[in-house]
Amino acid sequence: QTVVTQEPSFSVSPGGTVTLTCGLSSGSVSTNYYPSWYQQTPGQAPRTLIYSTNTRSSGVPDRFSGSILGNKAALTITGAQADDESDYYCALYMGSGIWMFGGGTKLTVL
Amino acid sequence: EVQLVQSGAEVKKPGEPLKISCKGSGYSFSSYWIAWVRQMPGKGLEWMGIIYPGDSDTRYSPSFQGQVTISVDKSISTAYLQWSTLKASDTAMYYCARQDGAALFYFDWWGQGTLVTASS
């Protein structure tokens, strides 16, 4: 059973840069999986950040960017701010109408 | 404006049936896939399944196949997630989400969530 992998937790200093990744337990993530990224703060529904690997959703600050790094999808936050402290989830489209979410990364800004 | 409005929180006993809903507005409901996503307390997002209201084509995650039923009534722009017999382990927040309609494969709008509590 394929699993979508993410770092369980990460920390970044205010103003710093952090890259979160999204991989597959078997195989590589490519643009063919249409990786997307979602931000969730406690008690709130997820918010769409990035889709189709590197396209920012409407209203998302340009400090958020997406890419493929090696065999993984990546979400980079440049100039992290306190309100970026959230859980971040990637989602991959596996084909034939099937999706998978990663386990999520809890980002701490301190 | 696109909106997905979910039904309210539910408290049920294990063994009881349950059906929760997700009503879409502000767009052509029949033309966009609607997914259901589970979030157990303190845990991550899990994709459960997806339905196309236009023809009720439905796909399930292997983890949820046979455990839940996803359906739709396009005449009232509403998708449903139902259980015939709830278990305590079904206690979770459930979100519906719209898949984009431009084959970019992402969830562009989310419902506010429905909290389901199954407890004796």
State whether residue A55 sits within 8 Å of chain B by CB: yes
| Interchain CB contacts (distance < 8 Å): A and B | 67
| Res. B104 pLDDT band, cuts 50 70 90 | confident
- Burial environment of residue A98 by CB neighbours within 10 A (0 to 12, 13 to 18, 19 or more): middle
- pLDDT surpasses 90 at B117: yes
- pLDDT surpasses 90 at B101: no
Mean residue pLDDT of chain A comes to 97
Residue B29 tokens read as 């409901």
For residue A6, the chain B residue with the least C-alpha distance is B44
Q: Pick from A47, A93, A103: which is nearest to B44 by CB?
A: A103
B94, B105, B109, B114, best to mutate vs chain A, most A CBs in 10 Å: B105
Q: Which chain B residues contact residue A89 at CB under 8 A?
A: 44-45
Rounded distance, CA B119 to CA B104, Å? 40
- Quote the percentage of chain A above a pLDDT of 70: 100
Is the C-alpha dihedral spanning B96, A102, A99, B98 positive or negative?
Answer: positive
State whether residue A48 sits within 8 Å of chain B by CB: yes
- Contact in structure between A70 and A90 (CB atoms under 8 Å): no
| Res. A36 pLDDT band, cuts 50 70 90 | very high
What's the pLDDT score for residue A1? 85
- pLDDT surpasses 90 at A57: yes
Residue-wise pLDDT for B23-69, tens only, equals: 999 999 999 999 999 999 999 999 999 999 999 999 999 999 999 99
If you average pLDDT over residues B84-109, what whole number do you get? 94
Mean residue pLDDT of chain B comes to 97
Q: Pick from B37, B107, B113: which is nearest to A48 by CB?
A: B107
Rounded distance, CA B115 to CA B100, Å? 25
